[in-house]
Amino acid sequence: MTHPPTPRTAPGTLHGSAARRALRHAAGLLLLASLPSAIDAMVQLGHLYGVTWPQRTVHYLNVINCAVAVALFFWLAWTVIGRTTLDRVTWRWRLVQRGVAVLCGTANLYVAAPGHGFGSFDGAILGITLAWLALEVCRSHGIVLERASGETDPRRRRALTWDLSERAFGVCFLGSLAASLLMWPLRLLGPETLPVMGDQLTTLGISSIGDVLAGVILAAALEDVVIVAATAALMTASNRPLWQIYTTIGLVEIAVHAYFGLPAIGMLAFAMGRIKLFLLYGRVLPLIFGHVAFDLTGILSMSLPRLYSYVVVVLLLLVLLQIGKRVKAPAFPDASSAVLSPAIRELILHKPPRDTPVACAGSQSDAASASDGPPAETADKTT
């Protein structure tokens, strides 16, 4: 087997105008991904505190949504057209990618128009388009959001992915727990003290299976791909210090969860843990898997009576733990075996690796030359 590559990239891979351009792109992605959600959350927060919004507030929100859709249309089409030249792809593949990019942008324009849309899946369309744009923007800077594993054994690759997904699930749980610990005493004090969110499903307008699927897709695309992974990777490549990365993403996470009320501060734990996982391992897929699993578990628990929800959630977690053991057991029969590389052994023992990855910043050719894994083209496809 081959040992996981020691990352050669470091903060400040991009310099001068390239670094400034990456930072501008990070700001643009954050703005497109968070602005509509943050404004909507602020409006709901205002309702909690008895704020009477002007009648034209809805009109302004529609204008902002249309502006975001227009920006998405042109930015995604521009980046895809710039990448799919004939010296890089075949003419058929170029036509397919450009056509799908235009189709996604057009669908977002249709969804953003007042009185139009595709029902429950409006959010899913927006999320998929934003995630695609984030991947294209990062690729244009030579950044890979899903670092190729140095393991040649597929069982070990699956085991490592499951392990990181479990950690992402745990981080989501800690963030939710922090918000709940802030919410419970405020509810006991009554709404006249500091009002907080009521039922989350009602607040988010989730009432059907379609709403659940669309909401989960939108949350994973917005929060994991754009707000955490792409932003952290671009800011790292722009030589931004860690405190700026954590602060920026943490404040954005609080803003998009402002409908919680004051307990939204608890989402800092939710953001900090996911940022750390991404900066350590340079992988976005485990973040998505863990986040989706947690959201589905939470929605299931909120949809059932309290007693039944506890029983179902405990049973579901036990099933997931058993699946995790079965996934890891064939790959790592003995964690102390000398066959395992030090980095893999530390992953099994739930310790961060000694060689800390830095968000996959840097050129794809550098990442390929530093490992025995697939070349840069293959790494691109994993995104």
pLDDT digits (tens, 9 = 90+) for 93-110: 999 999 999 999 999 999
Token pair listed for 256: 């998009």
Q: Say whether pLDDT at 338 is over 80.
A: no
Q: Say whether pLDDT at 382 is over 70.
A: no
Does 255 map to a domain? yes
Task: Give percent of the chain above pLDDT 90.
Answer: 31
Token pair listed for 245: 């990365």
Domain count along the chain: 1
> Can you give the residue range of the structural domain that contains 198?
16-382
- For CA atoms 20, 22, 27, 28, give the dihedral sign: positive
106 versus 300: which is more confidently predicted? 106
Does 61 map to a domain? yes
What is the Rg, in whole angstroms, of the alpha carbon atoms belonging to the chain?
22
Residues 6+ apart with CB under 8 A from 26: 230, 231, 234, 235, 238
Q: Determine contact, residues 259/277, Cβ cutoff 8 Å.
A: no
Does 9 map to a domain? no
pTM confidence score:
0.77
Residue burial 89-115, b: 16+ Cβ < 10 Å; e: rest: eeeeebeebbeebeebbebbeebbeee
pLDDT of residue 76: 94
The rounded distance, in Å, linking the Cα atoms of 19 and 69 is 26
pLDDT of residue 97: 92
Least confident interval from 69-78, 82-91, 138-147, 208-217 = 208-217
pLDDT of residue 333: 57
pLDDT of residue 195: 65
Does 2 map to a domain? no
* Helical (H) or strand (E) element with 365: helix 364-369
- As a dihedral over the C-alpha atoms of residue 160, residue 280, residue 6, residue 335, rounded to 10 degrees, the angle is -40
The rounded distance, in Å, linking the Cα atoms of 369 and 377 is 12
| Nearest partner of 65 among 126, 10, 20, judged by Cα | 126
Token pair listed for 11: 């903060």
Task: Give percent of the chain above pLDDT 70.
Answer: 76
Residue burial 282-303, b: 16+ Cβ < 10 Å; e: rest: bbbbbbbbbbbbbbebbbeeee
Does 285 map to a domain? yes
pLDDT digit string, tens, across residues 223-261? 999 999 999 999 999 989 999 999 999 999 999 988 888
Residues 6+ apart with CB under 8 A from 238: 14, 19, 20, 22, 23, 26
109 versus 189: which is more confidently predicted? 109
pLDDT classification of 196: cutoffs 50, 70, 90: low
Q: Determine contact, residues 343/355, Cβ cutoff 8 Å.
A: yes
The rounded distance, in Å, linking the Cα atoms of 354 and 220 is 29
What letter would DSSP give residue 2?
P
| Nearest partner of 195 among 51, 354, 372, judged by Cα | 51
Does 34 map to a domain? yes
Q: Determine contact, residues 89/97, Cβ cutoff 8 Å.
A: yes
pLDDT of residue 12: 42
Half-sphere exposure of 144 (CA within 13 A, CB side): 27
pLDDT of residue 41: 85
Does 120 map to a domain? yes
| Nearest partner of 361 among 5, 12, 28, judged by Cα | 12
Q: Determine contact, residues 376/362, Cβ cutoff 8 Å.
A: no
Does 134 map to a domain? yes
The rounded distance, in Å, linking the Cα atoms of 229 and 239 is 16
Is 186 exposed, middle or buried, given 0-12, 13-18 or 19+ CB atoms closer than 10 A? middle
pLDDT classification of 199: cutoffs 50, 70, 90: low
pLDDT digit string, tens, across residues 350-373? 444 444 444 444 444 444 444 444
> 3-state DSSP call for residue 148?
coil
